[in-house]
Amino acid sequence: MATNLKMKIRKVKSRKISIEIDREDFETFCNACGLFKKEFLDLLDASEKDHQEGRITERDSLRELIQGK
């Protein structure tokens, strides 16, 4: 099901953008991005546990995760 969100997109720099979302639409935005899915929340819990135990990997960007480096 398609979701309509009211947001303003403001280009800050050529490689960065900033968006502005009303508080009422923020939950809808998070849901549309999958941030409330159980699998995602479980990954966050596991990541937090790894971080607390010192098992971390420094990354320069999220692109490294996508490309599998």
Give the pLDDT of residue 1: 53
pLDDT score, position 46: 93
Successive 10-residue mean pLDDT values, the chain, 69 residues: 67 76 86 88 92 87 77
Q: Does the pTM exceed 0.85?
A: no
Rg (CA), the chain: 16
Q: How far apart are CA 1 and CA 28, in angstroms?
A: 12
The DSSP element (H or E) to which 20 belongs, if any, is strand 16-21
pLDDT at 5: 67
Q: Give the CA distances from residue 34 to residues 26, 27, 37, 43, 45, in Å, rounded to whole numbers and listed in that order.
A: 12, 11, 6, 12, 15
Contact between 19 and 10 (Cβ < 8 Å): yes
